[in-house]
Amino acid sequence: MSTRQYIEGIPRKQMYLFNECIDEIIEDDNIVRFIDAYVETLDMESIGFKMPEGTTGTPPYRPQLKLKIYIYGYFEKIRSSRKLEKECRRNKELIWLTNALIPDFKTIADFRKDNHKAFKNIFKEFLKLCHKLQLLSFKTVAIDGTKMRGQNSLNEVYRKETIEKVEKEIGEQINNYLKELDEADKKDQAGNFSLNSDRIKEITARLSKQMKRKDKVEIIKGIFAQNPELKIYFAADNDCRLQSDKGKIRPGYNPQIAVEGKNKLIVVADVTNEQNDKKQLTPMVNQVKEVKNDLIVEVKTDAIADAGYYSEKEIINNNNQDGITVVISPDSANKKISSSEEKKEDSEKYKQKNFDYDKKSDVYICPTGNILEKTNREVFFDKNGREVNSYQCKAGTCEICSQKGFCTNGEHGRKLLMSANKAIMQSYIESLKSKENKRLISKRKELVEHPFGTIKRNFGYTYFLLKGIDKVRAEFSFICFTYNLKRVLNIFSVKELIALVNV
């Protein structure tokens, strides 16, 4: 027999008296102490939380209590209301934070569902504290987007051109299940038992599922019929759109952030279902302005965006407006300033950039010396919203040109759509070559990748739990608030923050 001795615990059936109060089970520098102190300073009603009305029955839980649960949950990568209820029972930090109260999962879930606008405002409210702590300078903000999945699988995406095929397949499956049940019934009546009870239950469950799906498809067919322009329908979350992310196409959203340069804090959090970022510069810049106005910040701001945000219209509308200067990668600019017809050309010699402009005569001269004159008197807009002038070769010139095959396939000869703001854009592109702007462009990646890396890799938030773009925006704002909280806790200790919020 072994004589080794080991540390022994307290026998489970032995009477044991805890010799510490709830407050003593939590360290002084634990995050829950700051969550508790911060939430208690908030004016919940002014932020937008629905306050419980008087009742003669069981008193409701304080909104502050449920908000504390969610802040702790998102900080600790727990978003499910069922898991949060479970943690309230066993997690000593939540036991301390809730004073040992245990709201059921439905109460927890309904709080987020009913207060999604207030959840969005928590992000803005925390920015006020960050500004008070002098963590924001607004000299530089970096704008970027990413892709996150919505609550909508590919099985719940229906296309107009294939809806008839889907309906037919569902009908065939229903007929097969009914046929199998009929055959089993006939054999049972003849005394030849063919299917066990488990198989019958399985078939019945599948049949019920397909019948419900059939009803759904009939409703969706009606939606397509009532909306001829609608080509695709997202059944689980109709605000989702197909998003391309690293070679995969999934239903989801395109979250956008603006990251302040001083401490990599997110100052703007928004969500769009657009599949690219071309139209997102204006809404993001406008929101940066709103935040600066709310915090009374008057400093000039450089807003850096990546290649996906390049748009002549967006740059002209936003550059040097209300103290914002936009800086976008010159590689993107050189690419986008060319027209789409450049991609169809077979010769480098006849690309648009090789056509010379005669400012005095307001004409373009092609590499072979032919003249392209302006065909319109007034500026008009192309499909990308860019202000353009149209220039075309004189009638008959291209037909007799030996180089036409290399230059254009157009029936009426070569045509150029040239930006009406060409001089402004050329000056802008030249400004991007400055030493300072090159530094800003190189800094952009460093600023925006940290928040997205933390959110998607550290927190694991690669998809949304809520449905509908308004609720998704609220959830993303709360995720970004959680990121900001984590950043601030890397700068100040819990004790320092508690002292600062109580001032």
d(CA 39, CA 45): 12
d(CA 67, CA 34): 13
> Which amino acid makes up residue 341?
E
pLDDT greater at residue 228 or residue 144: 144
Dihedral of the CA atoms 467, 473, 478, 484 (nearest 10)?
140
Taking the CB of residue 119, how many other CB atoms lie within 10 A of it? 27
pLDDT at position 242, please?
A: 92
pLDDT grade, residue 452 (50/70/90)? very high
pLDDT at position 343, please?
A: 43
For the segment 38-51, the average pLDDT, to the nearest whole number, is: 94
Q: Are 441 and 329 in contact (CB under 8 A)?
A: yes
pLDDT grade, residue 1 (50/70/90)? low
Residues 6+ apart with CB under 8 A from 187: 193, 194
Phi, psi for 242 (deg, rounded to 5): -70, 130
Residue with tokens 């008087």: 54
d(CA 271, CA 480): 12
Phi, psi for 327 (deg, rounded to 5): -130, 115
pLDDT at position 331, please?
A: 59
Geometric angle at alpha carbon 27, from 21 and 30, rounded to 5°: 125
Q: Which two tokens stand for residue 42?
A: 């908030």
Q: Are 138 and 301 in contact (CB under 8 A)?
A: yes
In the predicted structure, residue 339 carries a pLDDT above the cut 60: no
pLDDT greater at residue 70 or residue 443: 70
pLDDT at position 8, please?
A: 77
Taking the CB of residue 398, how many other CB atoms lie within 10 A of it? 23
d(CA 227, CA 25): 60
Q: Which two tokens stand for residue 473?
A: 């925006």
Q: Are strands 232-234 and 301-305 parallel, antiparallel or unpaired?
A: unpaired
d(CA 449, CA 451): 6
Strand segments, DSSP code E, in 2-153 are: 140-145, 148-149
pLDDT at position 337, please?
A: 43
Tell me what the pLDDT averaged over the chain comes to. 87
d(CA 265, CA 484): 6
| Percent of all residues in the chain with a pLDDT value above 70, rounded to a whole number | 92
For the segment 464-470, the average pLDDT, to the nearest whole number, is: 94
Q: Which residues pair with 302 in a beta bridge?
A: 140, 325
Q: Which two tokens stand for residue 276?
A: 């690219």
For the segment 461-490, the average pLDDT, to the nearest whole number, is: 96
Query: What per-residue string of b and e applies to 452-461 under the rule 16 or more CB within 10 Å gives b?
Result: bebbbeebeb
In the predicted structure, residue 408 carries a pLDDT above the cut 80: yes
3-state helix, strand, coil in the chain (%, to 5): 50, 15, 35
d(CA 418, CA 312): 12
pLDDT at position 418, please?
A: 86
d(CA 119, CA 468): 15
Lowest mean pLDDT among 316-320, 377-381, 425-429: 377-381
For the segment 198-207, the average pLDDT, to the nearest whole number, is: 84
d(CA 176, CA 174): 5
Q: Which of 157, 160, 171 is nearest to 225 (CA)?
A: 160
pLDDT grade, residue 195 (50/70/90)? low
Lowest mean pLDDT among 179-188, 236-245, 246-255: 179-188
For the segment 389-402, the average pLDDT, to the nearest whole number, is: 84
Q: Which of 315, 268, 270, 262 is nearest to 293 (CA)?
A: 268
pLDDT tens column, 170-182: 999 999 888 888 8
pLDDT at position 236, please?
A: 87
Highest mean pLDDT among 16-20, 112-116, 386-390, 480-484: 480-484
pLDDT grade, residue 468 (50/70/90)? very high
Burial class for 483, CB neighbours closer than 10 Å (0-12, 13-18, 19+): buried
- Give CA separation, 398 vs 115, 200, 346, 412, in Å: 65, 76, 16, 8
- Would you mind telling me the total number of residues written for the chain in this entry? 503
Lowest mean pLDDT among 261-270, 308-317, 449-458, 476-485: 308-317
For the segment 438-458, the average pLDDT, to the nearest whole number, is: 91
> H-type helices in 76-162, by residue range?
81-90, 92-97, 105-114, 116-132
